[in-house]
Structure 1
Amino acid sequence: MATRFRKSRRQRGTRYCGWGQIGQHRQSGSRGGVGAAGKHKHYWIRTVIQEPNHFGHDSFYSSGRPHVSKWLNVRDVDGLMEHHGVIRENDTMPSLDLSSLGYDKLLGGGKIRGRVTLHIGKVSGTAKQKVEAAGGEVLAWHEHNTE
């Protein structure tokens, strides 16, 4: 095709050269998106060359790690004892099953006032120390040190 018949030559002298009155071919759509847009689509070759490890996850951390979704501090145990505490006939120490209330882990924030037996899946080291210092006990499946 001769150069004189090309679109760019035909549009010389017109005000917007085919890109419209408002946008003028300057927004992010003209450059393929903003930021990391298109790394898995139209900028794939660039991603493979410049950032080969961009997608995926670190194999050191498994995707099925145990996740603590609901936790409780020691300061909140007294409030739960008023509503959910159970005193058995033979024991003088009240008992509270935090696992049945939906809590996964007991943390050591705050202070506890009275003696209590707590049942929970996980407990931090400071939480266990504070409960035992108050005369209570913690029955946990897993114990963690958070010091």
Structure 2
Amino acid sequence: MKKHRGAGHRGGRGNAGTGKRADQKKPSIWGDPDYFGKHGFVSKSRAPKISAINLRTIDESLPIWAAAGLVNQNNGVFSVDLTNVGYNKLLGSGALHKKCAITVDFSSEQAIRRCVSLGSTVTVRYPRQEKQTKEKQTNESKAKESAKLARQATQEAEE
């Protein structure tokens, strides 16, 4: 075995030995307050966990679900509540060959279009809401608005 392999010859293990000798230039990690320890936190995600299923998979699974009693069949139409089966989002890959009335929390637009075109219906519990964009006000419009408010305030004060 070689003579100079040990941790004692190399100043210790890991970050040990960073200040063991006096009057030396200290290592850069001493000046970095973020080098050691954990910092901050990761906030809990508020987004729901998505468990998605395709139309093709639904079409293949309908007989199995019907046999298990997870799906009802009335007048040739399968009533499927995907939350009972363990899914909360419907995706549009594949096709349905049986008429279905599907109830689901979330759905893609393509899945809804395909289901409707094949004679099935989709009920979405939480339909997608378009984000409202704030209109940017120019400085001129802000100035006009503040002047208008000032005029109204003076008129009210006079009355």
Identify the TM-score tier after normalising by the shorter chain.
0.5 to 0.7
State the Cα distance separating 1:114 from its structure 2 match: 2.4
Do the aligned partners of 1:125 and 1:144 also contact (CA within 8 Å) in 2?
A: no
1:83 and 2:83 aligned: no
Structure 1 equivalent of residue 44 of structure 2: 63
TM-score when scaled to structure 1? 0.57
User: Do the aligned residues in 2 keep the contact of 1:124 with 1:143 (CA within 8 Å)?
Assistant: no
Q: Which runs of 4+ in 1 moved over 4 A?
A: none
RMSD between aligned residues: 3.2
Aligned to 2:104: 120
Q: Residues 91 and 110 of structure 2 are in contact (CA less than 8 Å); yes or no, is this contact kept in structure 1?
A: yes
Q: Distance in 1 between matches of 2:92 and 2:47?
A: 20
Matched, 1:46 2:32: yes
Alpha-carbon separation, structure 2, partners of 1:141 and 1:112? 21
Equivalent position of 2:54 in the other structure: 73
Aligned residues: 107
Quote the residue 2:120 is aligned against: 136
Counterpart residue type for residue 46 of structure 1: D
**Do 2:77 and 2:98's aligned partners in 1 also have CA atoms closer than 8 Å?**
no
**Distance in 1, Cα, partners of 2:14 & 2:73:** 71
Amino acid at match of 1:141: R
Relative to total residues, which structure has the larger helix share, 1 or 2? 2
Distance in structure 2 (CA, Å) of the matches to 1:118 and 1:126: 14
Shift of residue 144, structure 1, vs aligned partner: 3.7
CA distance in 2, matches of 1:45, 1:143: 52
Q: Deviations over 1:45-68 (max 9, x none)?
A: 6245x9xxx6334xxxx6341322
Could you say if the C-alpha distance between residues 44 and 136 of structure 1 is closer, same or farther in structure 2, counting changes exceeding 3 Å? farther
Structure 1, unpaired ranges of 5+: 1-15, 33-42
User: Where do residues 16-55 of structure 1 align in structure 2 (5 Å cutoff)?
Assistant: 21-23=5-7, 24-25=9-10, 29-31=13-15, 46-48=32-34, 55=40
Contact 1:106 1:122 in 2 (8 A): yes
Q: Distance in 2 between matches of 1:119 and 1:109?
A: 17
Q: Which runs of 5+ in 2 are unaligned?
A: 17-28, 66-70, 130-159
